[in-house]
Amino acid sequence: MSQSMKPLLPPTTQPRQHLTASDIAFFFPNQFSLGTLLCIGSLIQMTLCAILPLHYAAIPCATALLISILTTMKNCFQPMTNPFMADVIRGRATAQIPSQDGQYGPRPGKGSVVVFHLGIQYNHPLGLFAPHVLEISNRFLALQEDILLRKDELGLLAVEKWRGSERSSNNTILIKYFFKDVESIHKFALEPLHKETWAYYNKHNPGHVGVFHETFITKDGGYESMYVNCHPTLLGRGEVKGTADWMGTLVSADTPGLRSFGARLGKDD
């Protein structure tokens, strides 16, 4: 089976750079409710109306709306070239952890995966602008940037940021890490930046800043995944440093032996 598992993404000499929102685009917009944003937009428009003739004051809003409409139409009529389809892998794919020699298999679900959730909640009406929140957020981001530079050393397979939507404030930020094994996550826990972040939090103990983590350890043959028409996400973003290149985790789920849920867990022939 190992001979039939072929990566869907070509090997790279450096870790692959996936499209992702900037930190400002990820954190900043959700600091304001829809009502606040509408009020800000109305205030800007009223200011333009006050200092410009009416027919000129309408130009910025009309221009922005026209650009949005034209861009949407272009993307709808050219679905394969629009930014929403960037890096999308058509069809069915699944994640399989390659060995350091660049081989997949010989059976599905080989090896273990440790899933680590690290999160922060801003339980304050000022959100990111509340006391200590920005400093703690910057420390979390610095920790992530550092570990991405040392993926192979720290046994990191993939990392991705998510935002919770259970509240209108969208105040829960989650970073999902995928590690090779328990030893790798122990290394992560002992990292100086990780210790310094916790030391800062414990020193100031801001009651309006919640932090949490969860750890899930799978044994050999204990993980399974399916991605259909998706760009690489979660464990599908995983990479392992081989003897020469970085190998991705995504392989075709239509490969014989990977077509069913049980097969991908190594429980079927």
CATH number at residue 105: 3.30.70.100
- Residue 269, pLDDT above cutoff 60: no
119 and 246, same domain (yes or no): yes
CA atoms within 13 A on the CB side of 79: 3
Note down the domain range covering 46.
32-77
Write down the pLDDT at residue 225: 92
Q: Are 224 and 264 in contact (CB under 8 A)?
A: yes
pLDDT, tens digit, for every residue of 65-104? 899 999 888 888 887 777 888 888 899 999 998 887 777 8
> Is 226 domain-assigned?
yes
Amino acid letter, 49: C
Q: In the chain, how many domains are there?
A: 2
How many Cβ atoms from other residues are within 10 Å of residue 158's Cβ?
Answer: 23
* Residue 265 backbone class (left: φ over 0; alpha: ψ -120 to 50; beta: rest): alpha
Instruction: Examine residue 14 and state whether it is found in any structural domain, yes or no.
Output: no
Q: How confident is the model at residue 29 (pLDDT cuts 50, 70, 90)?
A: low
Strands, sheet with 89-95, edge to edge from the N-terminal-most edge strand: 227-230, 89-95, 250-252
Residues 206, 129 share a domain: yes
Question: Within this chain, do residues 97 and 197 fall inside the same structural domain, yes or no?
Answer: yes
Confidence of residue 28 (pLDDT cuts 50, 70, 90): low
Instruction: Note whether residue 257 is domain-resident.
Output: yes
**40 and 107 assigned to the same domain:** no
Tell whether omega for the bond before 106 is within 30 degrees of 0, i.e. cis: yes
* Mean pLDDT (whole number) for 190-203: 89
* 167-191 per-position pLDDT tens digit: 665 678 889 999 998 899 888 888 8
Q: Where are the alpha helices (DSSP H) in the chain?
A: 23-27, 34-51, 54-57, 59-77, 133-149, 151-154, 182-189, 192-204, 261-264
- Rounded Cα distance between 112 and 198, Å, is 28
Q: What secondary structure letter does DSSP report for 83?
A: G
